[in-house]
Structure 1
Amino acid sequence: MPSDRLQAPIAPSLRLPRLEDVDARAVHDAAVLDRARIVDVDSTGADLDELALSECAIERWQATGARMRHAHVVESRIERLDAATLDASRTVWRDVEVVASRIGSIDLSDASIRSVALVGCKLGHVNLRAARVRDLTLRDCTIDVLDLGDAELDRVAFPGSSVATLELPRARMRHVDLRGLEPRAVSPVESLAGATIDGDQLALLAPALAAHVGLRVVG
């Protein structure tokens, strides 16, 4: 019989082999990169659709305005990704770490995310609409707006992180741990079904939950 106990996300399984130092231009010139270490990449406004990274390490990546729709990032580590806007819709991410990065607005709609960890990142607007997410950890991150509309979420946690606005229309959640978050706005509250919250969060959400079920609170 399956257990209802909250399950934590499974961390990325990263065991990078010996990597070859590759010129930064290879990100734009090669469709597929394997076992490469790349430093100081400038992809501002670049077309990176269909890019495939496997067992790679990228450090200091400027990517404002880049388009990487349909890209695949597998068993890789990205550190200090910096982008005001980034189109990563319909991308595939598996066993990936993203560390110490700053992204103003990222479109991850329709993405497939499996065993991914974001650590120490500052994120503005994160669009995960209709994404399929399993085993995602956001650790010590700050997020202004997290849009999970129509997303499927299984085993997601936010240790040490903050989210100002949480948008959940038609989200489907299982083993999603929201404890510790103190969003100023959550909508709609009925889409919180399947998530785990703490007592303080319940108190903050009580007025919205009461309004949703039609309760009048007097006194």
Structure 2
Amino acid sequence: MPAPRELADLPYAEYLQPFRGRLESEGTYDTVHFDGNGFEDADCGGARFMECAFSSVSFTGGHYRRTRFNDVWLHTVRWVGADLAETEWLDAEITSGAFAGVEAFSTRMRRVTFSHCKFDSVNLRAAALRDVRFADCLLRDVDFGGATLTGVAFPGSTLDGVRLDDVRMTEVDLRDAAALGITSGHDRLRGAVIGSPQLLDLAPVLAQVLGIEVRDR
């Protein structure tokens, strides 16, 4: 897997302009560099970010519902208690980010890579993820209930208290995950690929889900 890109590696790096002003609802931000900004309770619903870069930015609270992120790069960005529901992410790269207490239900992501990110109590119910990679991430108390996962992989990532109720999976690769701490939805693993050691770890729960009684004698 290629290493995360640096800011200077972006094809639009030379065109980036520093952010000035404030975030606005339905606003359009094209080739803008957000550097060291802190946003609290911003109302930015329906905005569009295209070929933008975010460095050491924090979002605390705020309304970003139905915002679009297209070809964006985020490094060391923190989202705390933010409303990211119904957002759309296309060709995005997020490195060393943190998402805590975030509402991201009905989010749509395609060709998105998360590297060394932490997710804590994130609501991704009914989300649609296609060609999304969680590399060396921590996913704690993340709810994928009712989500559709297609071509999603978790290399090096730790799943802790993840819920998969009513998830639909297609070509989901869990083989290289560091830990599969799945709280619920084991019966929805159809369409996932796991390794033999992981199968042994999951066997007791899968047997219980399938109603299989295991006896040594």
C-alpha contact (below 8 Å) 2:71/2:92 kept by paired residues: yes
Q: 1:193 aligns with which of 190, 195, 203?
A: 190
**What is the identity, as a one-letter code, of the residue corresponding to 1:127?**
N
**What is the identity, as a one-letter code, of the residue corresponding to 1:196?**
V
Residue 88 of structure 1 aligns with which residue?
A: 84
C-alpha contact (below 8 Å) 1:75/1:94 kept by paired residues: yes
2:152 matches 1:171: no
C-alpha contact (below 8 Å) 1:18/1:35 kept by paired residues: no
Q: Which protein has the bigger strand share?
A: 1
Q: Offset of 1:26 from its aligned partner?
A: 4.3
Gaps of 5+ in 1: 1-7
Return structure 1 stretches of 4+ with deviation > 6 angstroms: none
Gaps of 5+ in 2: none
C-alpha contact (below 8 Å) 2:146/2:166 kept by paired residues: yes
CA-to-partner distance for each residue in 1:112-147, whole Å, 9 max, x for gaps? 111001111122122211111101011111111221
Q: Offset of 1:160 from its aligned partner?
A: 1.2
C-alpha contact (below 8 Å) 2:77/2:96 kept by paired residues: yes
C-alpha contact (below 8 Å) 1:131/1:151 kept by paired residues: yes
Q: Offset of 1:44 from its aligned partner?
A: 1.2
Q: 2:72 aligns with which of 69, 73, 76?
A: 76
Q: Offset of 1:25 from its aligned partner?
A: 2.8
Instruction: Provide the rounded CA distance (Å) in 1 between the counterparts of 2:197 and 2:183.
Output: 15
Q: Which 10-residue stretch deviates more, 87-96 or 161-170?
A: 161-170
Instruction: Provide the rounded CA distance (Å) in 2 between the counterparts of 1:140 and 1:32.
Output: 32
SS in structure 2 at match of 1:50: coil
**TM-score, normalised with respect to structure 1:** 0.88
2:198 matches 1:208: no
**What is the identity, as a one-letter code, of the residue corresponding to 2:142?**
L
CA-to-partner distance for each residue in 1:190-212, whole Å, 9 max, x for gaps? 11110111112111111111112
Instruction: Provide the rounded CA distance (Å) in 2 between the counterparts of 1:95 and 1:170.
Output: 27
Residue 5 of structure 1 aligns with which residue?
A: none
Q: Which 10-residue stretch deviates more, 206-215 or 147-156?
A: 206-215
Residue 214 of structure 2 aligns with which residue?
A: 217
C-alpha contact (below 8 Å) 2:26/2:46 kept by paired residues: no
Larger RCO: Structure 1 or Structure 2 (Cα < 8 Å, ≥ 6 residues apart)? 1
Instruction: Provide the rounded CA distance (Å) in 1 between the counterparts of 2:175 and 2:153.
Output: 8
C-alpha contact (below 8 Å) 1:120/1:141 kept by paired residues: yes
Instruction: Provide the rounded CA distance (Å) in 1 between the counterparts of 2:20 and 2:204.
Output: 52
Aligned length: 209
Instruction: Provide the rounded CA distance (Å) in 1 between the counterparts of 2:158 and 2:213.
Output: 31
**TM-score, normalised with respect to structure 2:** 0.89
